[in-house]
Amino acid sequence: MAPSKSKLLVFIAGLAGTRHADAASAQLFQSAGTNGDRLARKADLPLVSDFEFSGPTIEISKDSTDQAIQGFGGAFTEASALVFKSLPADKQQKVLDLYFGPYGIGYTLGRVHMNSCDFSPKSYSFDDVDDDFSLAHFDNGVSHDTEAMIPLILAAQDKVREANGAALKLIAAPWSPPAWMKTNGQMDGSDKPGLKDSCQAVWASYFSKWLSAYKARGISIWAITPQNEPENPAGWEACVYDAEQELQFLGEHLGPTLRADHPDVKIFIFDHNKDHVYDWAKALYADPRAQEYAAGVAFHWYSGDSFDHVASMHTDFPQAQLLATEATFERYRWRPGSTLVTGDWAFGEGYAHDIIGDLNAGATGWIDWNLFLNQDGGPNHVDNVCDAAILANTTSGEVFVHPQYYAMGHFSKYLVPGSKRLQTSRSNTPTYTGAMRPYGTCTADDGLEATSFLRPDGQIAVVVLNCADGDVAFKLKEGSAALHATIPGHGIQTYLFSSSSSEAFV
């Protein structure tokens, strides 16, 4: 079911009215595939003294806290920027407000590709002159990106400052170096290894010049990864490394160069699927040179849940900041009956399932792929079309908000930066223990899923997910306080209540 214009206005009004819950009650925000709720403010629920309950129970402990939230966001791809540019001015403001504005869903992170990616109309770099080892021909004005990408990023930065006075944190990654730096002589595809040994130093210098060029345009990059999906010899822009090769490049070239030129820019390694993320983290923290320059590990969702790999990494390498940097559904995953207007509700559930799993395993944030795409799931120069949280018909100017947007909002709006994870336990509800499933799969076999965080303002935020068909009654317990709640089938809920609430029932 797609939200009507009136429902969208009610949703925005509800966000505008967010306030602290009364000491003995919890605020509730709800989205559901079964009833049309979209981040809808529901009636507050009373917190009472803990009670006996034999059904599903979610229990929160404030005894200790874990990782702090960096934020949530999406990718400023060239495709997204071109779709945004095509919209009428009023629609441009609408979509910016939905993501970044004071009454939007609170995005504070973003991802940027250095050089082109598959979601560019064609391949490009900022120095295509063969063997330009001095980078004398590097385009210091990054003129290609000034056409669409940079104006969108600047507009988003302004909205984030307007919303909360903070800076938009951007993490950047290359899909491919210029063709002349690669062993296969072209940006698309990759041999193994992808980068010429003779080009490691100049490629590190290219990173530095690109960061300086963006900074001159008013965009400071918070972090980078050495390579998007280094294990993937894709049919689009790619550059393959194994862990040893990437860490050698980081320790001998990229790390020292950025430490000298851009010491505030953080470096995350890997930026690929969770099935191998632990192996790369283990290699990083066995390499004394590389680990000196690495802030943490970035990862994607395309190999399936693998939350245990993320959790093991968090346990064994607690110094690593963990960040989920890409997820999306390809359009072929749409179920029958899904349309451009409605999208597929299961996609929103899939996002919420992955976010809860990643956060409970130690992730500090979660970044969606394209912020905007057109009615065909592009533009994309290799027909690798996808869905997105916001799509637009670039002919009519219509904008369509898909279920992923509301799922993201249950986290990004309420788990604000600086929130710290609390221990969340579940009982009397199923846990999936079967074979690995396709990414973003969530069913009744997963039971009720939940994560909880203590916010800087002293409120506790709890997100609950139900991927089953039917409503589920459950108890939410914190200390000596509890509430009786019901979550609809295919529903997502966020609860907000004061961290001191349980003290009233001691």
147 is catalytic: no
Order of strands across the sheet that contains 390-392 = 372-374, 390-392, 399-401
Q: Among residues 222, 240, 125, which one has the least CA distance to residue 172?
A: 222
Buried b (16+ CB within 10 A) or exposed e, 229-252: bbbbebebbbbbbebebbbbbbbe
Instruction: Report the greatest alpha carbon distance in the chain.
Output: 73
Helix, strand, coil in percent for the chain, rounding step 5: 30, 25, 40
Cα 231 to Cα 350: distance, rounded to the nearest angstrom: 24
Which residue(s) pair with 498 in the sheet?
A: 459
Place of tokens 């089953």: 468
Q: Which two tokens stand for residue 77?
A: 């791809």
- The rounded distance, in Å, linking the Cα atoms of 334 and 317 is 38
Q: Is 229 a catalytic residue?
A: yes
- The β-bridge partners of 399 are 392
User: How far, CA to CA in Å, does 357 sit from each of 53, 131, 291, 307, 331?
Assistant: 26, 45, 26, 6, 23
Give yes or no for a contact between 324 and 74, defined as CB atoms under 8 angstroms apart. Answer: no
C-alpha angle with apex 418: 64 to 494, nearest 5 degrees? 80
What are the tokens at 2?
Answer: 């797609």
Q: One-letter amino acid identity for 378? A: G
What residue type is assigned to position 134 of the chain?
S
C-alpha distance across the termini of the chain, in Å: 44
Rounded to 5 degrees, φ, ψ at 340 are -60, -35
What is the Cα 370 distance to its own chain's centre? 10
Residue 365 sits at the vertex; the CA angle it makes with 241 and 478, to the nearest 5 degrees, is: 140
- How many C-beta neighbours within 10 Å does residue 130 have? 11
Residue of 370, 414, 432, 359 lying closest to 73 (CA atoms): 370
Cβ neighbours for 45, distance < 8 A, ≥ 6 positions apart:
25, 26, 28, 483, 484, 485, 495
- The whole-angstrom separation of Cα 393 and Cα 396 is 6
Peptide bond into 233 cis (omega under 30): no
Catalytic residue among 78, 326, 349, 449: 326
Catalytic pick among 59, 78, 229, 237 = 229
Gap between the Cα atoms of 169 and 150, Å rounded: 14
The residues carrying an active-site annotation are: 229, 326
